[in-house]
Structure 1
Amino acid sequence: MAIKFYGTIGSTSAFRALVGLVEKDIEFEFVPVSTATKEHKSPNFLALHPFGQVPAFQDGDLTLFESRAITKYIEEAYPNKGTSLISKDVKKRAIQTVWGEVEALRYEPTSIKLVWELAVKPKRGLIIDEAIVKESESKLTEILDVYEARLKESKYLGGESFSLVDLHHLPNTHYLMGTKVKRLFDERPHVSAWASDILSRPAWVKVTSMSNK
């Protein structure tokens, strides 16, 4: 059975899983889900994702949700396809796991608030909460200081090779580059070089180009 991916173009979580599929050079059927019409809350979609959020994923009789779980499965199920995204060396993989936790538990919660306030709200004509922006900028500054130190030691956060760690950063970083928060990346040369590197990957360029179709 063919792989099916259910998502909404523009969604950070959908983008995260999508770029994983593209990096792995895996053929799949994209099934658009309209959040505007509440399709993600329909009984049919809730059978795929019980929390009613995108994305959802099917590979034969396997159904998954949560973008990071999807990308990990893709790498483990298709290790010889496309880009290798998890190290086979146990110690290097442990380092990737550490920085993967940093992304999920520190970078994501902070950056998604800034994406919402500075990238999404203006497009919807909503009022920006400057208090949230200020607090989140302060937290992101601390995170990026740690990233700068880390990236002085290795080309990517998880080591010398691009991995799921860096891939998972792509959607939020992409949106933040279009906001005033971009200066926080630019002020840190190693972070800036890393962001430029991952955002210019062909797989990511292909995924973001879907927004223009």
Structure 2
Amino acid sequence: MGIKIYGMPISGCTQRVLAAAHEKNLDYELVIVDLRKHQQKEPSFLSLNPFGQVPVFQEGDLKLIESRAITRYIAYTYEGQGTPLIFKDNKQMAHLTVAMEIEAHQFESIAIKLAMELAYKGYMGLACDDAIVNEYEPKFAKVLDIYEAYLSKNKYVAGDTFSLGDVHHMPALQTLSGTKIKKMFEERPHVNAWREEILARPSWQKCMAMKKEFLEQ
């Protein structure tokens, strides 16, 4: 019963799942769904995810969509394998749950707006909308200030142990580190130290190597 991950190595949501899989040392097959060719809208893929989005995780007769749901499944199902990404202690797990909610609803909701304008539009040959950047930069600064205060007392987003909460941040941190937003990270020493450490993890470096190989094809 092999594992298949349907997605694209340049997709942030796919990268999130791949990073979790690498942390758990999972053997899997990556099935390329080329977003540039709109393969995610083809009937064969829509049978896996009717919303036409990557990634999709398949293990036997189990099919999962939504990257954060997939990473939670990986973390719980393979709890005793690879890097522990969740906690047995209920209080620690509660802090991790909060961290994951903050990532999804406070961090990513703003980061994706900036990433679209400062990174993805350029890749698609579209012009950046400066008005959107100017609107969301101060909002992101406020979020990063909250992170800076927390990370001044904790090494990671759910305490002093690397966890799934940190994995969830990796794609946006990587993308924005290639834009002028990197300066906003560097201006906050604890945020920057956290960013540099988690993006240097072997799991994430494997994701970046896969991305590079894909782009060079």
- TM normalised by structure 1 equals 0.98
Pairwise mapping of residues 100-119 of structure 1 onto structure 2 (< 5 A)? 100-119=100-119
Q: Runs of 5+ in structure 1 lacking a partner?
A: none
Residue 80 of structure 1 deviates from its aligned partner by: 1.0
**Residues in 2 aligned to 1:45 and 1:102: alpha-carbon distance in whole angstroms:** 31
The alignment partner of 1:204 has SS state of helix
Give the equivalent residue in structure 2 for 1:181. Answer: 181
SS at match of 2:82: coil
Inter-partner Cα distance in structure 1 for 2:4 and 2:123: 30
Q: After superposition, what is the alpha-carbon deviation per residue over 1:19-49, rounded to whole angstroms, capped at 9, x for unaligned?
A: 1101110000110001122211111111111
Question: Residue 38 in 1 paired to residue 41 in 2?
Answer: no
Cα distance, 1:151 vs structure 2:
0.4
CA–CA separation in structure 2 for the residues paired with 1:130 and 1:66: 30
Question: In structure 1, what is the Cα distance between the partners aligned to 2:91 and 2:124?
Answer: 45
Q: What residue in structure 2 maps to residue 86 of structure 1?
A: 86
What is the DSSP-based 3-state SS (H/G/I as helix, E as strand, rest coil) of the residue aligned with 1:31?
strand
Identity within the alignment, %: 49
Secondary structure of 1:49's counterpart equals coil
Matches of 2:174 and 2:164 in 1, distance apart? Answer: 16
Partners of 1:206 and 1:130 in 2: CA distance: 33
Q: Equivalences for 1:95-134 in 2 at 5 Å? A: 95-134=95-134
Q: Deviations over 1:180-202 (max 9, x none)?
A: 01111000010010000000001
Taking the aligned partners of 2:123 and 2:47, their CA distance within structure 1 comes to: 31
After superposition, what is the alpha-carbon deviation per residue over 1:27-79, rounded to whole angstroms, capped at 9, x for unaligned?
00110001122211111111111100000010111000000000000011111
Local SS of the residue matching 2:30: strand
SS at 1:156's partner residue? coil
Question: TM-score with structure 2 length normalisation?
Answer: 0.96
Residue 4 in structure 1 maps to residue 4 in structure 2? yes
Gaps in structure 2 of 5+ consecutive residues: none
CA distance in 1, matches of 2:177, 2:75: 27
> How much is the aligned-residue C-alpha RMSD, in angstroms?
0.8
Which residue number in structure 2 is paired with residue 163 of structure 1? 163
In the other structure, the counterpart of 1:136 is 136
Task: State the SS of the aligned residue for 1:50.
Answer: coil
Q: CA deviation at 1:124?
A: 2.6
Q: Separation in 2 of the partners of 1:77 and 1:101?
A: 21
